[in-house]
Structure 1
Amino acid sequence: MKETLRQIVSFTMALLVLFSTMSFTVDMHYCGDQLVDFSFFKTAENCAMKASSSKSTGETSIMEMEMDCCTDLEIVLEGQDDLKISFDQFTFEQQIFISTFYYTYVNLFETVDKNLIFFKEYSPPLLIRDIQILDQTFLI
């Protein structure tokens, strides 16, 4: 259970780092109020209603100006660029704190054998008098 939970948390953290550093652009082309084309990786294609200026007279005709209802929208999401932190930027006190925290965290989960008998090597004390009989203390 712990191993599965650790893998799930590791995977979600990796996805979080991936999506926080990734930047992308969304291009959208509208004709009036309708979305005609959108693209994630390249520019959106224009429709045939896009107005063009005539080069011979230098003017745009009235017909073409009426059809110029198209708009292009570009949404840019920038990712982070400064994620790499080198270890030499830490002060000496921070390095000591990190190393002691790591040492105590690793040793926190060290398993201890529950069948340890610490007094196995020692002999019992010499019995001079039987104290229970002298005090007349008996377990019933």
Structure 2
Amino acid sequence: MKEKLHRCLSCLMAIVLLLSTTSFKVEKHYCMGHLVDVAFFVDAQDCGMDMPLGDDMPASVEKSSCCASEVIAMEGQNDVKPSFNDFQLDQKVFLVAYTYSYIGLFEPLTKRNQTYAQYHPPKIVENIQLLDQVFLI
């Protein structure tokens, strides 16, 4: 029961972290008051009725467009992990020296060759227990 609760909370926290750092964008394109296109994460396609002003039209004449676009954007966090460039020079030097000095502490020990693995003891010439008269009862 405790393991299942732990897994559920871990998954929930991972989803919350993912959603808080991701940016979302929803764009809606309206033409003459009617919704024509909805796009997620990309630009919505226009209906083709929005005509740009040409060079032959005077700049003083402004014509209202029949099209409108609505953009809903949610910016995510970009500063979750500090960059190495944010440190000052003395902090960088200390970090490199600290890492270099302790790099050998956590290396695994090398396996020693066992030279006695192939060693066979000498054969017993006399029974020592019988000579010392030590018997297990």
Structure 1: which 5+ runs fail to align? 87-140
Q: Residue type of the partner of 1:58?
A: M
Distance 1:21 1:34, change over 3 A: same
The structure with the greater share of residues assigned to helix is 1
SS of the aligned residue for 1:29 comes to strand
TM-score, normalised to structure 1, is: 0.49
SS of the aligned residue for 1:10 comes to helix
Equivalent residue for 1:15? 15
Name which of 75, 81, 84 aligns with 1:78: 75
Q: Distance in 2 between matches of 1:82 and 1:52?
A: 40
Q: Distance in 2 between matches of 1:52 and 1:82?
A: 40
SS of the aligned residue for 2:57 comes to coil
TM-score, normalised to structure 2, is: 0.50
User: Cα distance, 1:33 vs. partner?
Assistant: 2.3
Q: Distance in 1 between matches of 2:36 and 2:67?
A: 10
Q: Residue type of the partner of 1:73?
A: E
Structure 2: which 5+ runs fail to align? 84-137
Q: Deviations over 1:30-76 (max 9, x none)?
A: 11322111111321111022133344x3259xxxx57x311011222
- Count the aligned residue pairs: 81
Alignment of 1:1-140 (within 5 A): 1-55=1-55, 57-59=56-58, 65=63, 68-84=65-81
Identity of aligned residues (%): 41
| Structure 1 residue runs of 4 or more that deviate by more than 4 Å after TM superposition | none
SS of the aligned residue for 1:6 comes to helix
Q: Distance in 2 between matches of 1:11 and 1:30?
A: 39
